[in-house]
Structure 1
């Protein structure tokens, strides 16, 4: 399948990307663990069917030392024993925050409360922003049909 649009190849795309990358850098600069950030990005990208972002974030996570076992089990995190309680809460929040149209009105109070048991206000802000941001990236890449498979870690200064 060919890309419909090069989301990295024109002036408007560059301006949009600059702001999205800036938001990502702000989140990356928080004390929300980098491994949790990548797991959340991977899970949302899987749900949204964004091959480009799934490719990017699994490779970035692996390059940062994430284990192959954990990367292979992100899609089935509920049954996997390799994630911490905090990571599980973040993944659950990512799922509900990504599937807001599928559920009963967004993120449930129970899911939010589980996340709040593990993360402080700044980290929860980072998680909420990260979930919104990766969903925006996913949607841009799915709409444009950005191809997956050729991403190299560090390619975009990640």
Structure 2
């Protein structure tokens, strides 16, 4: 299976992707915990069905020391006992922020209040941008049918 577009060969896509890569690096350097970043990126990608990003973030998280138990339970985090309250709040924000059309008004005040209890201003800003960023990247990959399975940790750093 081949992709509909080769982002790295297209001059417009290449320039835009350079900005995306820069934004991604800025998020990685934010004070939002790295484990939370990977869990949120993985959950958003699972919801959207983006195989490329599920592959990437599962492998990146594992390479950073995340356990297979936690990675395997991200999709069922509500019933799992392996996530902190802060991680659970971030995952809930990720779900509501990804499924915006499912709820009138987008992210509920209850979810926002809960996540704001666990993260300071910079972390919360990074979390909101990460959810939005992942939704954008997921859509680019899905629309162009980017193939998954060959990602190597550190490939895009």
TM-score, length-scaled by structure 1: 0.96
Q: Could you tell me which residue of structure 2 aligns to residue 151 of structure 1?
A: 151
Unaligned 5+ segments in structure 1 are: none
Cα deviations across residues 13-51 of structure 1 (Å, max 9, x unaligned)? 211111111111222111110000000000000000100
Q: 1:120 aligns to what?
A: 120
- Displaced runs of 4+ in structure 1, greater than 3 A? none
Partners in 1 of 2:31 and 2:85 — Cα distance?
A: 17
Structure 1 residue 107 corresponds to structure 2 residue 107: yes
Whole-Å Cα distance in 2 between the matches of residues 83 and 41 of structure 1? Answer: 15
Q: Within 2, Cα distance between the matches of 1:101 and 1:21?
A: 27
Q: Summarize the alignment of residues 75-114 of structure 1 with structure 2, pairs less than 5 Å apart.
A: 75-114=75-114
The equivalent residue for 1:56 is: 56
Distance 1:113 1:21 in 2: 30
Q: Which residue of 2 aligns with 1:45?
A: 45
What is the CA distance between 1:151 and its match in structure 2? 0.5
Q: Equivalents in 2 of 1:46, 1:8: separation in Å?
A: 24
Aligned counterparts of 1:2 and 1:9: Cα–Cα separation in 2: 14
1:125-144 correspondence runs (5 A): 125-144=125-144
**Which sections of structure 2, spanning at least 5 residues, go unmatched?**
none
* Corresponding residue SS for 2:141: helix
- Structure that is richer in helix per residue: 2
